[in-house]
Structure 1
């Protein structure tokens, strides 16, 4: 059992375990410390199990309009316990896969909770072992990938009790299906849970503090998303400030102020989805620079402490698994002296509700605010042949170009499986594609991705099918 490594990674989420694999591939002796489950929140209590739930909800919801496809099924029903069991099984499978990868790449896994102490050439890692006792290891470099946890606001009662007030973790594995929910926050987490529980029949109300849902998205997408979710029966309170969450005999009572007027929202459960808090406990003693709790890093993920890197949620927004993995790879390669390509690739955002939402780069409003002569194009799925044939006509694709250079600088989508389509635009922006490049690409027919072509054409008055 070694005490010295080239790299020690703290946290085995999608940033940490990928960083460890890449470091090992580059010939660095590597260890990884994890206090709970390999795969971190993403694989065990976030990205992966939520998608399993959403798939169950999507299929069940489709049963209600099978007649439009010429099909029929009698008395559709669901077994909530089995839906949860399947989701947990998917998470367990994925976590087991990470254990295999660690073994394959000869990465030592240390189970326990780490804290940093001053050392040279990098901080020492002192681990309270899960099995008992402690262990101190020294590395030439340490990568901090400790992630984040759900934000609570005790002053208003927004604190998980695992019963009536939930965070994402509680919402992933409840004991029974709630009949009604209030969801506080309309970001990706809040909207995905609202979509899942509504698909199974719960009465759902989403509360958002600002003047539109999904506020990080393009305004047109936000508007279309709210309309689509309301059509499915989800209710919204927009521009609403939550003042108190009280537990009652039958559930919760959520006090909100909307336009200066007080309202009471009642439900069996309340999901608090109002952001995250970085896990930076145990780093104070090494003099690490923080900004509102997040670790400050440079473009190579280096901190102000020699030999210490930070990646993923603990290092700030966007709080996305693929951003963490990208940073983890770059940090490992920078340590090894390997030149990383495409360091500045844009980070796409995806929400896996029904309908899905995906975006990358500038919104139209942000581009104009930055002084860019923005040219926007749009194309609706309702006139896309594949979408019509599949019965998935809701939504559209929107592109944003720099009017002076022709460069694609943003793309925004809402509709069926747009989270798969967005990667085409991510690649285009990374490769600095212009409108000429995108106009000249041949798209397979019939595909929903043809809407990407048409939206690019529309920005320059060349759209073909509308």
Structure 2
């Protein structure tokens, strides 16, 4: 059978070493306890011995490479012995049926098993395949994960429908008249499902093209190199693998409010599945999810109450941006309550009453439905049983996305780092390349955050509050779209671009945009922060006219007190 030769731990303080010499080559025969390689630490030379007699299969780490304790150096094809069978011993098919009801592959047949087919998992699987690895992807539901099926994509489809209800008001300014819109919610839901199906088919095609093995079922990690699979048809199988990538995602977090569960609240998942619009709805939580659903329901004629326990909607966002969105949602008749906590909920005669505490007084709100949008929690059930370290509700990973078990990686929402699809995909790429022998790292300094309300919000880097907390001497530059030619011709001149500049190093610290197409505009800002650009470098870049992107040039100039059109 095949087994691993790993970096031994020599001494209490040893954590890493350098491969200095291989004393064997692939295909060489070795005896148990033969020295096969030498490693060098800061203090001593470490000899690596063959754990069993056999033949050297693949040498995975080359001379000069850095390695960590427990990391795989090479594979060893062992020879049969007279010892008693154990879990690593090749046994006959008949013995296997008696000892293990699962259909187990004796040798590691994959370079990686990826559990979870969301934007992190399927990207990781494709990248491993691109690098020549054999990979299997296990998904219990639909490919694309929460993002494609229950989050990003369906909500953006509904938000587009809500936006179109305002088209007649805008078009009349251009002499083009439409009647007041009527809402066919069932048709909008059909469009949502069609979009999901189209993108699901796209993911399937990409996986098939990359020759990724896809299993519809539930994967359970039973050891650092084994995964049990219960397929959707009931069949069970055990897969052996060199690496495992956990991409199990997250689920809605339901707060412990008395009476809430009896009220059968909606989460974002159920909210995307309802077939009729409620007359009224209370949304608990005014983060990105809560604000987006407020932006869906209100234009479609639903009476919306938005409740947030913090002192502003979008807690953690730039204050100016949050205040601008609050005004916009208020124009859409969203009733917003900040610094407010729901203390109890009662259900009577088909109505749901929320007893809300606001500073020094209570208020009762009566609605037909309740949507909980108080964040998400990692799916980490049973992961602790195999020894994975869990911190702050997520699987702990290092900058390589490796867990405390060297052969197991974790990506996406299950890590508790950033619950964003594009972060999961980036993590998937890093984990995949590390599974295939690279040494890639993930950094979170330039992660863009987008909220697809009307108007959109996008940001990257530090807010003013965060910069102040770091004692950074900063200066802001602000450019309003009501002075931008393209925004005015579009008839959508609301919003602004805000740039934070470090006075000492003249480096861009953060960029915050609220306005039409903000989610598309932010990418230039992400690149600028990733490259540690200065405002002068953006200002020296010629931007096309008339475009919304000129606003970033102007805000950058303004952050240095050199604004032209401000």
In the alignment, does 2:191 pair up with 1:86?
Answer: yes
The 1:340/1:63 distance shift into structure 2, 3 A limit, reads farther
Deviation at 1:96, TM superposition (A): 1.6
Aligned partners of 1:205, 1:54: CA distance in 2, in Å? Answer: 18
CA offset digits 1:375-414 (Å, max 9, x no partner): 1110001111111111111110001111111111110011
Equivalents in 2 of 1:216, 1:329: separation in Å? Answer: 28
- Alignment of 1:355 with 2:455, yes or no, is yes
Residue 284 of structure 1 and its aligned partner are, at CA, apart by 2.0
Q: Answer yes or no: is 1:335 the counterpart of 2:435.
A: yes
Residues 1:208 and 2:208 aligned together: no
Residue 45 of structure 1 is matched in structure 2 by 150
Corresponding position of 1:416: 516
Whether the 8 Å CA contact 1:160–1:166 is kept in 2: the answer is no
- CA distance in structure 1 between the partners assigned to 2:492 and 2:374 by the alignment: 31
Q: CA deviation at 1:342?
A: 7.5
1:265 and 2:368 correspond: no
Please say if residues 147 and 279 of structure 1, whose CA atoms lie closer than 8 Å, have aligned partners that are also in contact.
yes
Partner of 1:23: 128
After TM superposition, the structure 1 stretch with the greater mean CA deviation from structure 2, 410-419 or 73-82, is: 73-82
SS of structure 2 residue aligned to 1:111: strand
Q: For residues 297-336 of structure 1, what are the alpha-carbon distances to aligned partners after superposition, in whole Å with 9 as ceiling and x for unaligned?
A: 0001000012000001000132000000000000111121
Q: How many residues align?
A: 461
Q: Distance in 2 between matches of 1:99 and 1:159?
A: 37
Q: Which runs of 5+ in 2 are unaligned?
A: 1-102
Pairing 1:146–2:248 present: yes
1:298-447 → structure 2 map (5 Å cutoff) = 298-338=398-438, 340=440, 343=443, 346-447=446-547
Deviation at 1:430, TM superposition (A): 0.8
Distance in 1 separating the partners of 2:234 and 2:154:
30
In the aligned structure 2, how far is the partner of 1:339 from the partner of 1:380? 43
- Are residues 1:220 and 2:320 paired? yes
Partner of 1:112: 217
Q: Retained in 2: the 8 A contact 1:185–1:207? A: yes
Query: In structure 2, do the counterparts of structure 1 residues 314 and 160 end up closer, same or farther at CA, with 3 Å as the change threshold?
Result: farther
Q: Which runs of 5+ in 1 are unaligned?
A: none
Name the SS of the counterpart of 2:556 in structure 1.
Answer: helix
Aligned pair in 2 of structure 1 residues 2, 401: CA closer, same or farther (>3 Å)?
farther
More helix by share: 1
Q: Please, which moves more after superposition, 442-451 or 151-160?
A: 151-160
Q: Let me know the Cα RMSD of the aligned residues.
A: 1.6
The answer to whether structure 1 residue 97 and structure 2 residue 202 are counterparts is yes
CA spacing shift, 1:94–1:440, aligned 2, 3 Å? same
Contact 2:113 2:135 in 1 (8 A): yes
Deviations 1:340-360 (A, max 9, x none): 488556111000011111101
Q: Distance in 2 between matches of 1:63 and 1:386?
A: 20
Change (3 A) 1:183 1:160: farther
Contact kept, 8 Å, 1:182 with 1:267, in 2: the verdict is yes
Q: Give distance in 2, aligned partners of 1:129 and 1:334.
A: 28
Secondary structure in 2 matching 1:314: helix
Using structure 1 for the length normalisation, give the TM-score: 0.96
- Offset, 1:339: 5.3
Matched, 1:194 2:294: yes
2:182 equivalent among 51, 59, 77: 77
Name which of 525, 530, 551 aligns with 1:451.
551
CA deviations over 1:227-265 (Å, ceiling 9, x no partner): 121122111110001112323323321121001311111
Q: Give the conservation status (yes or no) of the 8 Å contact 1:330–1:343.
A: no
Which region of structure 1 is more displaced relative to structure 2, 31-40 or 364-373? 364-373
Deviations 1:116-141 (A, max 9, x none): 112xxx34211222110321111100
The answer to whether the 8 Å contact 1:116/1:285 transfers is no
Answer with 36-45 or 87-96: which moved more: 87-96
